[in-house]
Amino acid sequence: MCIVDIAEAESIASTIEEADKESIDALLVAVPELTKYSPEQWHRTTKLLHSEGIEMEKILSIIGGHPSILLRPVEKIAESLHCWRSCQFGDGNMKVLVSAHPYLLDYTNHGQLAQRVAFLHSHFETRKNVYRLFLNAPNLLVDEQHATEAKIAYLLQSMRHEVLEVVKSCAFSHDLEHLRCRHTFLERLGSFKPRSLKADKNTPTGNPPLHQITDTSDKRFAVKVAYVTLEEYEVFQELFRREMEQDERYDTDDELDVEEVESEPKRSAYHKKGSFFGRFPQRGRVIVFPRIDVTFRWRPVVLAVRGLQHQILDTFA
């Protein structure tokens, strides 16, 4: 356990308006790195943040989450706060956002931030929704736009989740492969079906909530959402990964044997009925495991595949 110099905590607290020694002492214990910064650095940074209307509790949260902000010129911090205020999330929401993700105060590219906010706003309807997206997935600030576009298309168009359900989840903090694997598993179990385009959006779908699909551990997802064992989901993850790799290989392989192509049914998207579960090369042949139709349960197929798994992985590792 870190022992904090009482005099040091008192010295820092004495330079900060509205801060008490107990709060500073607790923060120094929780984040020992903060002891290397001088009372003057603390005073300069906290004074600026306080003058910007940020409450002391949030100021300490910012400093505890991003200690090196104490080294950042106050002019740059003020410039960053101006950037985030220009997003028009509301002053209270802006303060919550930067206290939850203090590293956002390193960002001062006003033009790029405005472009990213406008892009997200065009898909998610309101500034409040864009704020929620940044709060749940701050990586949206720096992710490549094409990668974000692919996730938006998948969640809103392919899986037909409602906008509000998406913005309340942390789906954008995960990569596209994670989203696809979770949804595909549930689809092939018959536990998820995209809402009909003709259905009233207020009509319950019977699908698990998006946050339960995307924001849970593998074990919780398997047991509590998909109602299978973790082992069964792990089998699927490996085979799905190989399936995606093989699909990519097929898409880019211009030398694929014509006769073999004609002998296979036309491949459709990974989530369509009747498409293939996976293709594994073996001595010039292709072993095809049929995907399960979404109207059947997955467990019998998993149990059948499990017996072949070790042989497959040993052969193609």
Q: Quick: pLDDT tens for 32-90.
A: 999 999 999 999 999 999 999 999 999 999 999 999 999 999 999 999 999 999 999 99
**Which carries the bigger pLDDT value, residue 271 or residue 47?**
47
pLDDT at 312: 45
* Residue 9, pLDDT score: 73
Res 298: pLDDT: 47
For residue 271, name the pLDDT band (cuts at 50, 70, 90). very low
Residue 307 has what pLDDT? Answer: 45
If phi > 0 it is left, if psi is from -120 to 50 it is alpha, else beta; for residue 90 that is left
Between residues 161 and 197, the one the model is more confident about: 161
pLDDT per residue as tens digits for the range 222-232: 999 999 999 99
pLDDT of residue 165 exceeding 50: yes
Provide mean pLDDT across the span 243-264. Answer: 67
Share of the chain above pLDDT 90, in %: 65
If you write DSSP's letter for every residue of the chain in order, what string do you get? -PPPPHHHHHHHHHTSTT--HHHHHHHHHH-GGGGGS-HHHHHHHHHHHHHTT--HHHHHHHHHH-GGGGGS-HHHHHHHHHHHHTT-S-HHHHHHHHHHSGGGGG---HHHHHHHHHHHHHHH-SHHHHHHHHHH-GGGGTS-HHHHHHHHIIIIIIS---HHHHHTS-GGGS-HHHHHHHHHHHHHHT---PPPTTS-TTS---PPPHHHHHSS-HHHIIIIII-S-HHHHHHHHHHHHHHHHHHHHHHH-TT--HHHHHHSPPP--TTSTT-EEEEEEETTEEEEEEPPPTTS-SHHHHHHHHHHHHHHHHHH-
